[in-house]
């Protein structure tokens, strides 16, 4: 992955219905969102990740994606606020989660992205796979297919979480192959647990190996998608990112540490811009994991309502194309 380097400045705000008409759609839109807990960016670059690399080559990989906002300073760089931002498209000032206790969670002000999608398309089918139980309790309560694997306690933490991740991948594969789910979220936790046990750093073999093992599972998921009988008539957008990076064997208190608050993010598919640059006007918000919900909703052709107050943007991630009227004028 030594070919890639990073992103730049960005715009902030969400797309409107008019922008939806300018986004490339090659078929029935589908979204697969993959969360890899505790993915430090330089370790990701050092790891051998052919499947994630392939996604990056078919889209945008930004290594300077933010998991925090400079304007919202109360939340810690831990999984609670990180994943709640990832899944709701708003910062902690709206979703209310500041730490792993989830105290203050405001699901009414900041619903899960699945719930927002169903406000517009009630028949939209969603699926969620995760092995960190608090996420299911406090955030991912709106999935039609809802799979939670609770790691056991009979082996080392990293080994148990690796087994849980594999169970999730195996559970998701038949659904990705055969189900009509429109938006699927899959969470992998073994990278974070390995980092806590051995260290978050590219020089730590177990941590790099954990990243490579998750990449293998990502490959299984992508192969399942390609095996769909309807694949040729579908337009898949694949989104990959994390809740935070890491330093030493931790990541809390990392708002000033770029190894923690800056992470990789991949937006891949026919409608994704290609390259390692997220171009946005000077002075606008930097690319951030808060963009993920806006990206999924936009790809699913769901106009984003102003009263949702999403903080993310699709700008620089998706490739706009000529509208029908513009195409007619060129004929």
| Residue 322 pLDDT grade (very low, low, confident, very high; cuts 50, 70, 90) | very low
Statement: residue 172 has pLDDT above 70: yes
Domain 17-321 -> CATH class: alpha beta
Which residue from 270, 280, 282 is spatially nearest to 312, judged by alpha carbons? 280
- Given a contact cutoff of 8 angstroms between Cβ atoms, the answer to whether 52 and 215 are in contact is yes
What's the pLDDT score for residue 4? 35
Q: CB-based contacts of 325: which residues, under 8 Å, 6+ apart?
A: none
The pair of three-digit structure tokens given for residue 34, joined into one six-digit string: 């993959």
Statement: residue 166 has pLDDT above 60: yes
Instruction: Considering only residues 4 and 316, tell me which one the structure prediction assigns the higher pLDDT.
Output: 316
Q: Give 260-272 pLDDT, tens digit per residue.
A: 999 999 999 999 9
CB atoms within 10 A of CB 181: 20
| Residue 11 pLDDT grade (very low, low, confident, very high; cuts 50, 70, 90) | very low
Statement: residue 300 has pLDDT above 70: yes
- Pick the range with the lowest mean pLDDT from 38-52, 120-134, 273-287: 273-287
- Given a contact cutoff of 8 angstroms between Cβ atoms, the answer to whether 127 and 185 are in contact is yes
Q: Give 189-209 pLDDT, tens digit per residue.
A: 999 999 999 999 999 999 999
Give the burial string for 243-278 (b: 16+ CB within 10 Å, else e): bbbbbeebbeebeeeebbbbbbbbbbbebbbebbbb
What is the rounded distance in angstroms from the CA atom of residue 12 to the CA atom of residue 5?
22
What is the rounded distance in angstroms from the CA atom of residue 199 to the CA atom of residue 196?
6
**Domain residue spans of the chain:** 17-321
Find the helix or strand (DSSP H, E) in which 32 lies: strand 28-36
Tell me the three state secondary structure of residue 33. strand
For the full predicted model, state whether its pTM sits above 0.85. Answer: yes
């Amino acid at each position: 992955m030594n070919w890639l380097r990073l992103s730049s400045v960005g715009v902030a705000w969400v797309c409107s219905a008019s922008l939806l008409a300018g986004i490339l759609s090659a078929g029935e839109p589908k979204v697969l969102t993959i969360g890899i807990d505790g993915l430090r960016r330089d370790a990701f670059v050092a790891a051998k990740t052919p499947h994630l690399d392939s996604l990056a080559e078919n889209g945008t990989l930004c290594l300077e994606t933010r998991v925090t906002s400079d304007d919202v300073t109360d939340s810690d760089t831990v999984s609670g606020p990180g994943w709640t931002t990832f899944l709701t498209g708003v910062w902690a000032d709206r979703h209310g989660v500041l730490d792993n206790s989830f105290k203050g969670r405001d699901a009414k002000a900041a619903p899960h992205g699945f719930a927002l999608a169903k406000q517009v398309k009630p028949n939209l089918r969603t699926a969620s796979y995760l092995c960190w139980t608090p996420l299911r309790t406090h955030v991912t309560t709106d999935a039609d297919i809802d799979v939670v694997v609770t790691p056991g306690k009979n082996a080392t933490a990293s080994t148990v979480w690796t087994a849980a991740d594999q169970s999730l991948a195996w559970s998701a594969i038949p659904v990705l192959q055969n189900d009509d789910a429109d938006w699927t979220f899959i969470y992998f936790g073994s990278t974070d647990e390995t980092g806590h046990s051995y260290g978050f750093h590219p020089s730590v073999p177990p941590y790099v190996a954990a990243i490579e093992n998750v990449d293998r599972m990502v490959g299984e998921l992508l192969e399942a998608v390609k095996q769909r009988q309807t694949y040729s008539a579908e337009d898949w957008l694949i989104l990959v990112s994390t809740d935070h990076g890491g330093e030493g064997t931790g990541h809390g208190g990392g708002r000033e540490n770029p190894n923690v608050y800056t992470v990789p993010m991949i937006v891949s598919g026919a409608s994704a811009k290609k390259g390692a640059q997220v171009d946005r006007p000077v002075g606008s918000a930097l690319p951030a994991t808060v963009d993920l919900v806006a990206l999924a909703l936009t790809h699913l052709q769901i106009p984003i309502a102003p009263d949702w107050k999403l903080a993310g943007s699709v700008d620089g991630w998706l490739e706009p194309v000529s509208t029908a009227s513009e195409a007619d004028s060129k004929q």
